[in-house]
């Protein structure tokens, strides 16, 4: 009998780096088989764990191998779930609903992994993954640090701002924020930040039109009201996607920030 986070299968996957091993893993979560990538430095030793939570839904915003290799190369074992129903996994992704448990189970996987220092797990969320990262850290107070990069913090605000996503959100969530406010509130970590223990780093491009800067402003404001440990890096000239050089610089800086937390 499997428990959440148990690895069901682990297959070697072609890695673009000679220093990083890459695996396609299937793990257990709430009766479902979830797929994801696991990237680890080849060199022996114990490493901090890094839970990478992607944005988008279904085939939009899929986990990019280059991205997780980039983080693993900074000295982390990286687990990147695809979320339920994706790339051969069972179940149906529901945009910050029950698929949050896929992230929580992936955290358990990292905690039990032989090359991971189990009390040094960091959670990173990009775009919609920002909600997933915050929900995971609220649920699991032992998380060492949280980074939200261009992250969603308010699901109702996403519905208001992204007219192109409304049909999908109504289908997946079951209706509008007006008709089902509690379904959107449940997916919005702003209402439960009292239970967050980990320090938070917020990264956002001010010109972001995919996830407006307002999401990060609301998150920062609420964390400060609660006396939580929050750091914000806002970039006036950038959108949802940073230029390559600045992207690499920011990755370097955020991983350095992570390593001094906890």
Write out 126-173 in H/E/C secondary structure. ECCHHHHHHHHHHHCCCCCEEEEECCCCCHHHHHHHCHHHHHHHHHHH
Half-sphere exposure in the Cβ direction for 84 (13 Å, CA): 22
Sheet arrangement for strand 47-53? 7-13, 20-29, 32-41, 76-81, 47-53, 116-126, 145-149, 200-205, 230-235
Token reading at 136: 């995971």
Q: What is the DSSP letter of 188?
A: -
Q: Which of 73, 90, 232, 240 does the annotation list as catalytic?
A: 240
Of the candidates 110, 96, 95, 109, the residue with the CA atom closest to the CA atom of residue 33 = 109
* Cα–Cα distance for residue pair 183/132, rounded to 1 Å: 15
- Known catalytic residue at 73: no
Token reading at 16: 């673009």
Q: Which of 127, 148, 156, 212 does the annotation list as catalytic?
A: 127
- Known catalytic residue at 240: yes
Q: Where are the alpha helices (DSSP H) in the chain?
A: 65-72, 100-112, 129-139, 155-161, 166-173, 181-186, 213-225, 244-259
- Secondary structure of residue 215 in the 3-state scheme: helix
Token reading at 100: 């949050």
Angle (deg, nearest 10), helices 244-259 and 65-72? 40
Known catalytic residues? Answer: 127, 240
């Amino acid at each position: 009998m499997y428990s959440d986070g148990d690895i069901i299968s682990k297959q070697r996957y072609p890695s673009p780096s000679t220093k990083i091993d890459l695996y396609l893993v299937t793990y257990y979560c709430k009766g479902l088989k979830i797929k994801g990538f696991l990237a680890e430095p080849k060199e022996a030793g114990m490493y901090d764990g890094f839970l990478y939570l992607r944005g988008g839904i279904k085939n939009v915003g899929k986990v990019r191998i280059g991205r997780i290799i980039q983080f693993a190369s900074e000295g982390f074992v990286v687990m990147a779930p695809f979320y339920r129903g994706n790339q051969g996994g069972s179940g149906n992704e529901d945009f910050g609903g029950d698929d949050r448990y896929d992230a929580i189970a992936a955290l358990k996987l990292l905690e039990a992994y032989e090359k991971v220092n189990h009390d040094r797990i960091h959670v990173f969320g990009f775009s919609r993954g920002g909600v997933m990262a915050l929900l995971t850290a609220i649920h699991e107070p032992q998380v060492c640090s949280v980074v939200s990069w261009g992250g969603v913090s308010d699901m109702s605000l996403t519905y208001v701002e992204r007219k192109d996503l409304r049909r999908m959100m109504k289908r997946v969530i079951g209706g509008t924020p007006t008709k089902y406010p509690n379904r959107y509130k449940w997916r919005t970590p702003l209402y439960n930040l009292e239970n967050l223990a980990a320090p938070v780093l917020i990264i956002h491009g001010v010109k972001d039109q995919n996830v407006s800067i307002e999401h990060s402003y609301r998150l920062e404001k609420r964390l400060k009201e609660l006396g939580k440990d929050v750091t914000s890096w806002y970039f006036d000239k950038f959108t949802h996607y940073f230029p390559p050089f600045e992207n690499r610089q920011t990755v370097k800086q955020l991983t350095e920030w992570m390593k001094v937390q906890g």
